[in-house]
Every structure is written in C-alpha cells, then in structure tokens.
Structure 1
Amino acid sequence: MLNFFKKNAALVWAKKHVQKTAEFKKNSEKNQEALLLSLVKTAQKTLFGREHDFENIRSVKEFQEKVPVADYEDLKPYIERVKKGQANILWTETPEYFAKTSGTTSGSKYIPISKEGMPFQIAGAQSALFHYIAQKNNADFVNGKMIFLQGSPEMEEVFGIKTGRLSGIVAHHIPAYLQKNRLPSWNTNIMEDWEAKVDKIIEETEHENMTLISGIPPWLVMYFEKLTEKHGKKIKQLFPNLQLLVTGGVNYEPYRDKMEDLLGGKVDIIQTFPASEGFFAFQDDYTKEGLLLLTNHGIFYEFIPLEEYGKPGARRLTLKDVELHKDYALILTTNSGLWAYSIGDVVRFINKEPYRILVSGRTKHFTSAFGEHVIGFEVEEAMKAALEKHPAQITEFHLAPQVNPTEGLPYHEWLIEFEKEPEDLEVFRNELDHQLRERNTYYDDLITGNILQQLHISSLKKNAFHEYAKSQGKLGGQNKTPRLANDRKIADLLEIYKL
C-alpha cells in the first residue's frame, strides 16, 4: 500500500510541476532581465556592489558596462575575504556552503553557495525527475533502490562555512521520501579511495532491486564493468527493474554504445548539466536531444561567441541575441554572488522555444596549435559518426597536437583506448579524419593546404585512462580526463600506455 501511495503521489506531483514550468519556458527573455536587476538591487550594499556602482544600474547594458567578465582569479580576492567569515562582500550574507573544486592555476577553488542558491541545486534535479515521470506516466522507480555515485558527504568548516564537494553537499538535501531507498551507506560514501569505494558499493548494491542509478558516464562504466566481471552478466540481468540512468558532468554520447553493451537492455537516460556554480539545464524530454536551460533558477546568463572569447570588445549576448548551432562561452551571474563569471563551459543552442542547449566543450579544452580551434563537441561528434560507419567500442580518448614529429608534417594524435578495435584501423582513421574535416573547416583547410597531415591514432592498453587518472590522484566521481588539449602534457604521460 505504501509503495502504491508513493508512486501515485509522485505522478500527481510531477504533472503539477510540469504545468507550473510552462510560464518560465514562454517568458525566459523577460524573466532573465528582471532577475538580473533583482540580483543587482539585492547586492547594492555589498563590497562588490559598491565598487561596481550597482546603485545606478538600471539595465542589462549598464550592468555589462560596469561589471567586466571575471574568472575565479578575478573574484579570488573577494572570496578570500568571504572565507574569513566576512559578510556583505559578494552577497549580502556569508554563504551557506563552499563547494570545493580542484582548480588549475588557482589551486582549490571555493565556490560560494548561498542560502538562496542551495534550493535551486536540489530543485533542478527534482525538476528533471518530475519531467521524466510526467512524460513517461510512470514512477515505478521510486519504490526501488537508488544509487548516486558521488563524492564524500563529509564536510569541513572554513570560518564556520560548511565546505565540501558539491555532490557531497547535495547528499545532505535529498528529500526524506527518497532517503530510505538510497544507497550506498554513509560509511561507504565517505570513503576517499575511489577503487575501494566502488568495490564496497558493489557489495551493497549487487543483490538489491536497483531502479535508478546516477553518476558521470566514465564512473558509471567503471561500476558496471566491475559488476559484469564479478557476475558474468549484463546489468539488466542483475537489475531487471533498472529503469533510469541520470548522468551529468560530461557529454553522454561518446559513452552510449559502451553503456548499451554493458546494460544489455532498455534503460531510459536523463542528461543533466549541474555544476558547483548552479544547476543550469536538464533533458526535459528524455526521447530528444538537448537540455532545457533553467532561466528561472536564480542565474542570469550571458553568452560570448566562442571565436570572440578572451578578446577585447567581445560581445556579451543575452538570450534574445543568440543564434542556433553556434558555440558560446557561458557567463553567469548568480544569487550566490558570482558576477559575470566565466565558468569555462561552451554551449550551443539547438532550440529557442523553449531554449535548449548542448554542452559543446570547455573554453580551455581545445586544440588550436595550428589555428584550427577544434573543440570538444566537434571531436565527439566526429568520433560518434566514425563509429557508426565502422563499429568499435571506445573506453576513452584524448586528442593532442604533434607539432614536431620526427618525420613528415605535423598532425593531430588521437590516443584511444579501445574496448573493441574496428575491423580495419586504417579505414577507421581515414573516416575519423574525414568526419573532423566535415565539422571544422579550418582543420580541413590545413589538411588541404599541406600544413597538416591526416590524424594519427595511437592505441592504448586496457585501463590506460584509469591508470593515468590514478597516477595523477584524479580517481573519483567528479574527475574526468579532458578529451582534447592544446599541448602534449597529458599525451606525454599517456605514452607509457601505448600498445
């Protein structure tokens, strides 16, 4: 009886929720400007607000004139003051949390999450599930066990501000009605050794009625592989009632074939776009490509055309100005005190009514040693198309330029860990090169003009990327190896894994 009640209650809540979201989908442009002016007004008396004349900002244009685009290094002096417990710096109060992330130039980053911002982190995930339930007209999964492959929920305090990984922070806010169904246990979740943690998760889940599993794709693959190796069965044989995978963090498409092979049966997929800075988008129609941009979740968005990003006078566009199928650097202003903040993600709009996006790359993850500016979306789509024509299974790959080869012209090197190689690797190489040329005219021009030779493929040993991540101390639920780079730092470290 209780299970029947939970399932039907979820269906009722889901349908009501989807009806409520219709308004923001229709009025995104208007709501976004009103949101920005509301954020500015709230923060007028903060240190940042006083320094940037918030009191006299009356429009998006005036905001853009007074507040430059910033990265973490630009905001770090303010965040350091917030870390010491000072209020009224970036936002009116000290944050409720700091989401601690690993940085590159900045070391660890401390991303503030305010009391106003935290509910939207939870609401984004809930909304994704409600849209799925309403569309599917099925909430059976709420009565089974659910697992979230995530970071440790243990937190430290920085001058009284609770600090930890975002996924660990979110673990403290999972609704009560889901807590009894949730795995793994607290003691397993707080384990720091990722390999040992996955082994323990398998012990706790392998004989349970798993219905929903969530995590970033490479770590879902790792969990599924260990399960299949242990039991000699596909995941749907082990978990016949598994209904739903919820993924985020990286593009799911390059993992789809591998995941389908491991699953061995039909499982629905919801892709999401969460980050420490906010929950930005989710797949509101699990049968179609694209993520619904959440324009009513305390975040004002700007978009810089990727080809202009980092250049003087780069245009800062709002929703009304964006074009379909163009790449934009994503800029955020949030109700946690991030102002015109460049998060480093690149998005591409595929729909405007409502606004739906694809995450097409990272501003710092590209290959342009020869002026080609190849981005993540292009290499992932090229790989997907090549695999469709010449079937193979890919565990992971990394693209890097080879500027000074021992002989011949420079080239792009693709370091690929194959689960199953294509029937003819040379034919596959030619197809992959062709597909990338189709997607990037600059790369095509370089090949045509004999500036570059065709790409090279270097096959890597099994578990190469796993061992590389382990050697760098980057095993864990939120870490992922960049798919491409503009130098050979990662490529050189992968040399020892070449076949």
Structure 2
Amino acid sequence: MLPRYDPNDNEAGMKLLEDLTTNAHQVQQQVLEKILTQNVHTEYLSSFLNGHSNKKLFKEKVPVVNYEDIKPYIERIANGEPSEIISAQPITELLTSSGTSGGQPKMMPSTAEDLDRKTFFYNILMPVMNKYVDGLDQGKAMHLLFIKPEIITPSGLMARPVLTSYYKSNNFRNRPFNRFNVYTSPDEAILCPDNKQSMYCQLLCGLVQRDEVLRVGAVFASAFLRAIKCLEDYWRELCSNIRTGHVSDWITNPSCRNAVSLILSKPNSDLADLIEQECGSKSWEGIIKRVWPRTKYIEVIVTGSMAQYIPTLEFYSGGLPLVSTMYASSECYLGINFKPLSKPSDVSYTLLPNMAYFEFLHVEKNHEQVSEEIQCNTTISDKNCTQKEYKKEIMELVDLVDVKLGHYYELVITTFTGLYRYRVGDILMVTGFHNNAPQFRFVHRRNVVLSIDTDKTNEDDLFNAVTQAKRLLKPLGFLLTEYTSYVDTSSIPGHYVLFWELKMKGNNDLPELDHAIMEQCCSIVEDSLDYVYRRCRKKDNSIGPLEIRVVKHGTFDALMDFCVSQGSSVNQYKTPRCIKSEEAINILDARVVGRFFSKNVPFWESFRM
C-alpha cells in the first residue's frame, strides 16, 4: 500500500500519483481487503463478521459509528488491554484530536506503520509543488512547526496531537536528505516545549537565513499569523540578536539555545539594519515579501475555519500565493491539492486511495442551506435539534469512486489503525475528478460554530457555557434574554465574542453593569468550554481572552428584522447562535453599551483517563 520511490525524483512522484488516481477503485478494494484480512480476528470486527473477511459482509454488518461508539475500546487500550481489541498491529500511541468528547480530546489509535504512511504523504506533496513552482531546490523553507502537550496513559502509551507525534518520531528527526525539504528551523527549536521560545527562535533562524528562504508558512493560517504578531512584538530584540550574534538570555531551553547559536554564529550589522528598516516602516503591508524577498508562496491551510484569516494574510503577503497543500486529520491523512496555486476559495483536495478506505454519507438537497440552518438557525430548546435535522438528510452510503459532482457528503473512513466505518465529521462537496479520483472542497465540520485555532466549539458547548455564566446574574435580578456569538480575528490572536441582551426582572430596563461581575461571567464561560479551547488559551496562547458585549434592549429584534429582510422566514426564524454576516455583526456592534473581557486564564491541565 506504500509504494517506494525516490522523494527527490519529481517525475517518479507524479507518475505514482497518476497511477493511484487512475486506479482509484482497484486501490480502494485492495486497501479494504488488506484491512479486513489483517484485522478480522480483532474483538471489534469479530463481533460483526464472525471471522469472515468478506467485503460485502463488511458493508452489510459493520455499522457506521461515531466516537462515542468506539470510545470504550480505545479507553480499554489506554488502560492497558491489548491492541488486538481493535487492531492486529500493535497500537504504539494515541493521537489526541482537536474534537472533544465530554470535554476531553478524542483519542485515535496509531501504529508504527502509520508513521511511514504519513512520511509517504509528506514526500508526495513536493512533486506537485515542483510542477507549478520552479527552483524550490535552490533554497530553504521557513516552516514554523510546533509541538503541544502530551501525557502518558495508564498503559504507558503516549497520547499527543498528531503533529507532535510526527515531529517527535524518528521518521521526522532521522529523515533522509531531501533537497526540497530543507528547513531554516533546527529540530531543537521545533521540539522546544516552550512555544514562546520556539516561536522566537524559529523566527530568528528564518531572519538570519532570509536570503535562502524560498517559501514560508506553518500548518495552519492562525499559527503563521501568530508568528507575524511575534515579529511585530520582538523585531527590535531579534535585530539586536542578529547585530550582536548573541541569543537573548530569556531563551533558556539548552538544546534550542545551542542549535540557534550555531546558526546565528556571528554578528551581522548589515542584516540587522536591513530588517530594522523594513519592520520600522509605517505600514506592514507586504512585510513577508519585504523581509524575505525570494519567497515564492506562503504555505498554510486556509480552508474551513482558517478561511477567516485570508484577508489578514493577503495584507501581509505582498501578493504571494496562499497555498493549501494537504487535507489531513488526527484519524488519517487524507488528500492533496493538485492545483496548489488556485485561489483559496477554489481549493479542492483529491483523496489518495491508498491512505484508507473511504465511504461517504450522502447529504440530500442544497447543503449550503442545510449547513446554514444547522449552524445559525437552531435553538437549544431541543438539545438534539441539530442531530435530528442532520439525520434526516442522510440518504445513502457510497464508495469513493461513486460520489457525484456537486453533491455533499460526510466523510466515513476505515483505517489501517483500527477505525472501522468511522464518521470523521467533515462535510465535503465534490468539485471534480483527477483521473478517477474525486476532488472535494472542504465545507465545514459538522455542528462546529466557533473555531480560531485547533478549537472546535459546537452549539451545545456554547449553550452549556453560557448557562453556567448566567447563573451569576440570576441572584442580582438580571435576565439574559438572548445571545449570539462570533469569532473576532481583527487582532492576533483572535478571540470569541458573545453578544448578550440583558434586562431586569419585571421590566425591560437595562441593569447597571458591574465590571467585576461581567468579567467573572467571561471567565466562567471560558472555564466551561472544553479542554482544547482551554489549552489554546492557557498553554498555546493561540486564543485571546473571551469578550462579552452587552447590547441594549431590542437589539435582537433588529437582528431578526435584518435576517427576515435577507430571506429568512418569520415563522421559522430562530436566533442564530453564531453570526458570520458582517452586516449582522455591524447591527449588533452599533447597539453595544458595555464590553467586558475575561481577566483570568481558564483552568487547564493535561487530560486524565
């Protein structure tokens, strides 16, 4: 399933991709056959297939599942039971997903072979880039890569985010020389557990090697913009380091400090003066191209929730293309972008048929309307409203090569690592085909309403957090009559904004607001959100303090009037719990009478079993 080829041979790489996509159906059948043959005697599959590896029986008997269905099996492995519960191959670690279950991150099984699959995936990206961009082997990539917290489960297995797993693996650290993947950041800076030190040092290395940088980026757009914010905050100190040839004293991680010192090596006043001139200018428009003049493109994921950062990236980029090369998840690496220089709004991913076995839950009717109803026009009065509406749309399960152009689907995967007919939760639209392999546009995550970085807050999460916070107001005679939310990315890092309409019991008068109490409400909301949000706030510093904006009486009536004027039905109108329309946000902002921010960093600790 993992064909071998020389990663430096672009022609061989492209031929391999052409073979995989041309023979997509045959490859998919081989993948399913191998998965079933290897794992048919696991406890999980045996309960449905009774020892038979027949593919038809698999489709008839093995159910489509959510995380809650498989969570008990994974927890048993985390607590010390053998991998054979779900996988014939030894489970070597658990990958923590950015999605959550009961406030804790989901854990996905992984094997040693899975690291080889990821390495294959990363290597196969470069032949596509080299087809569109010349000379990438003549310089380096300033890719800003970071690790996140990890724990040891009772079984001794590590549980950590998928990228942390890969960067700490021998596959990454002992990677063979590939002239297309030479980074400005030393591994010691990437693996530094202090994200602030890591960010500073990787920027410093990128500045010192500016003349060699041909491409810049990070995995997510949000992380790259945090790097730009770091440059804005520290450019004077960075220039001082370059001028003196000495790394700042607050960089205390020994491995990181030593590796960066080797790259800094000697004072360079000319380079420091040049960077000071650019960073000290009045406007930072086009700063990427000015500081790293040989850069050909910015490589960041700008699809899904990351699309909100496109305008800011375009401001800083100086006209450089924004390139989204890959589509991946904690469960499985999935697909690549065969047209990497396309506009962000036109990005589509082709699923590689040898990565997993893919099936699709067909979502009927115009899904853009469905998703809008799900995300913005439901109330929490019926807690299961979203799931009920969604289930009505599911009509059929189809194979990879049988999806239809223009139709919407939810992705279902069967992996080599122990997931069988698992609903990933991603909604995709078919935009075309590369040979016989379909291409998909990522639409959104099912049920997610707020996301800034790797956080994914759904409507239930938001409702429960607001419910906890408004209890503080009840003894004071205040009532929360309506609320909605949006993600404010006008500053870096972005932050959640809640609009609250309040009144006193018995009348519509706006109560006099106590700053301390409202700030405490902000903190309670944050403390009530899930593990990933709290980690992003406290540990990663990738989300700013939550804000509550109190609006005057009648504001949500004005919002309803606007929505009705845009085509919503008066009879079916429900207050949107997440606002994406700029006009709607302006209506709310124009009626704000008080703004309050969380003063405390939310409680966070590594999750426990």
Which TM-score applies when normalising by structure 2?
A: 0.58
Give 2:177's aligned residue: 177
- Does residue 113 (structure 1) correspond to residue 110 (structure 2)? The answer is yes
Paired letter, 1:87: S
Alignment equivalent of 1:37, drawn from 33, 39, 44: 33
1:77-226 matches, within 5 Å, as: 77-83=72-78, 84-102=80-98, 103-105=100-102, 107-140=104-137, 143-152=139-148, 156=152, 159-171=155-167, 172=169, 173-174=171-172, 175-177=175-177, 181-209=182-210, 210-212=213-215, 213-226=217-230
2:12 match: secondary structure: helix
Alignment equivalent of 2:324, drawn from 270, 288, 300: 270
1:446 match: secondary structure: coil
Deviations 1:14-34 (A, max 9, x none): 221101211221222343233
1:55 match: secondary structure: coil
State the distance in 2 between where 1:435 and 1:135 align. Answer: 45
38-47 vs 127-136, which moves further: 127-136
- Does residue 344 (structure 1) correspond to residue 401 (structure 2)? The answer is no
Give 2:268's aligned residue: none
Paired letter, 2:21: K
1:336 match: secondary structure: coil
Q: Does structure 1 retain, via aligned residues, the 8 Å contact 2:142–2:184?
A: yes
State the distance in 2 between where 1:435 and 1:15 align. Answer: 55
State the distance in 2 between where 1:284 and 1:91 align. Answer: 32
Residue 66 of structure 1: how far off its partner (Å): 1.2
- Does residue 65 (structure 1) correspond to residue 119 (structure 2)? The answer is no
Residue 250 of structure 1: how far off its partner (Å): 4.8
Q: Does structure 1 retain, via aligned residues, the 8 Å contact 2:350–2:438?
A: yes
Give 2:231's aligned residue: 227
Paired letter, 1:80: E
State the distance in 1 between where 2:575 and 2:97 align. Answer: 37
Residue 92 of structure 1: how far off its partner (Å): 0.3
Give 1:356's aligned residue: 439
Residue 45 of structure 1: how far off its partner (Å): 1.0
The 1:348–1:336 alpha-carbon spacing in structure 2 relative to 1, beyond 3 Å, is same
- Does residue 281 (structure 1) correspond to residue 335 (structure 2)? The answer is yes
Deviations 1:93-118 (A, max 9, x none): 22233212352426132211123322
Q: Does structure 2 retain, via aligned residues, the 8 Å contact 1:15–1:134?
A: no
Residue 36 of structure 1: how far off its partner (Å): 1.6
The 1:452–1:156 alpha-carbon spacing in structure 2 relative to 1, beyond 3 Å, is closer
Q: Does structure 2 retain, via aligned residues, the 8 Å contact 1:273–1:281?
A: yes
Paired letter, 2:313: M
The 1:19–1:243 alpha-carbon spacing in structure 2 relative to 1, beyond 3 Å, is same
Deviations 1:132-159 (A, max 9, x none): 1133343235x32432322249775763
The 1:346–1:133 alpha-carbon spacing in structure 2 relative to 1, beyond 3 Å, is same
Q: Does structure 2 retain, via aligned residues, the 8 Å contact 1:202–1:227?
A: yes
446-455 vs 85-94, which moves further: 446-455
Give 1:446's aligned residue: 569
Residue 270 of structure 1: how far off its partner (Å): 3.2
State the distance in 2 between where 1:220 and 1:211 align. Answer: 16
Give 1:16's aligned residue: 12
Give 2:293's aligned residue: 240
Residue 47 of structure 1: how far off its partner (Å): 0.9
Alignment equivalent of 2:407, drawn from 323, 326, 329: 326
State the distance in 2 between where 1:135 and 1:470 align. Answer: 48
Paired letter, 1:110: M
Residue 337 of structure 1: how far off its partner (Å): 0.7
1:177 match: secondary structure: coil
Deviations 1:219-255 (A, max 9, x none): 1111123324533351122112223433238535432
Q: Does structure 2 retain, via aligned residues, the 8 Å contact 1:40–1:54?
A: no
Aligned length: 410
Greater Rg over alpha carbons, structure:
2
Paired letter, 2:62: V
Which TM-score applies when normalising by structure 1?
A: 0.69
State the distance in 2 between where 1:434 and 1:255 align. Answer: 29
State the distance in 1 between where 2:92 and 2:302 align. Answer: 23
Residue 259 of structure 1: how far off its partner (Å): 0.9
The 1:54–1:404 alpha-carbon spacing in structure 2 relative to 1, beyond 3 Å, is farther
Deviations 1:423-450 (A, max 9, x none): xxxxxxxxx9999999xxxx83426977
1:127 match: secondary structure: helix
State the distance in 2 between where 1:242 and 1:70 align. Answer: 44
1:289-308 matches, within 5 Å, as: 289-306=346-363
Paired letter, 1:239: W
1:56 match: secondary structure: coil
Structure 2 unmatched ranges of 5 or more: 1-5, 236-278, 365-388, 451-457, 460-485, 509-543, 545-558, 577-582, 591-596, 605-609
Give 2:257's aligned residue: none
Deviations 1:316-356 (A, max 9, x none): 22224422233322111000110111122111110134411
Residue 86 of structure 1: how far off its partner (Å): 0.6
Percent identity for Structure 1 against Structure 2? 16
The 1:311–1:451 alpha-carbon spacing in structure 2 relative to 1, beyond 3 Å, is closer
State the distance in 1 between where 2:12 and 2:443 align. Answer: 32
Deviations 1:174-212 (A, max 9, x none): 323159943544554344454454334333333223333
The 1:92–1:452 alpha-carbon spacing in structure 2 relative to 1, beyond 3 Å, is closer
State the distance in 1 between where 2:125 and 2:448 align. Answer: 28
2:9 match: secondary structure: helix
1:356 match: secondary structure: strand
337-346 vs 180-189, which moves further: 180-189
Structure 1 unmatched ranges of 5 or more: 1-8, 370-382, 384-391, 408-416, 418-431, 461-466, 475-499
Deviations 1:2-60 (A, max 9, x none): xxxxxxx97x6122110121122122234323322321121111111211116335335
State the distance in 1 between where 2:40 and 2:71 align. Answer: 20
State the distance in 1 between where 2:184 and 2:154 align. Answer: 28
State the distance in 2 between where 1:468 and 1:249 align. Answer: 28
The 1:241–1:291 alpha-carbon spacing in structure 2 relative to 1, beyond 3 Å, is same
Paired letter, 1:446: S
Q: Does structure 2 retain, via aligned residues, the 8 Å contact 1:120–1:278?
A: no
Deviations 1:349-397 (A, max 9, x none): 101344111111011215999xxxxxxxxxxxxx9xxxxxxxx978768
State the distance in 1 between where 2:498 and 2:58 align. Answer: 39
Deviations 1:409-434 (A, max 9, x none): xxxxxxxx9xxxxxxxxxxxxxx999
State the distance in 1 between where 2:338 and 2:13 align. Answer: 12
The 1:162–1:238 alpha-carbon spacing in structure 2 relative to 1, beyond 3 Å, is same
Paired letter, 2:42: T
Paired letter, 1:364: N
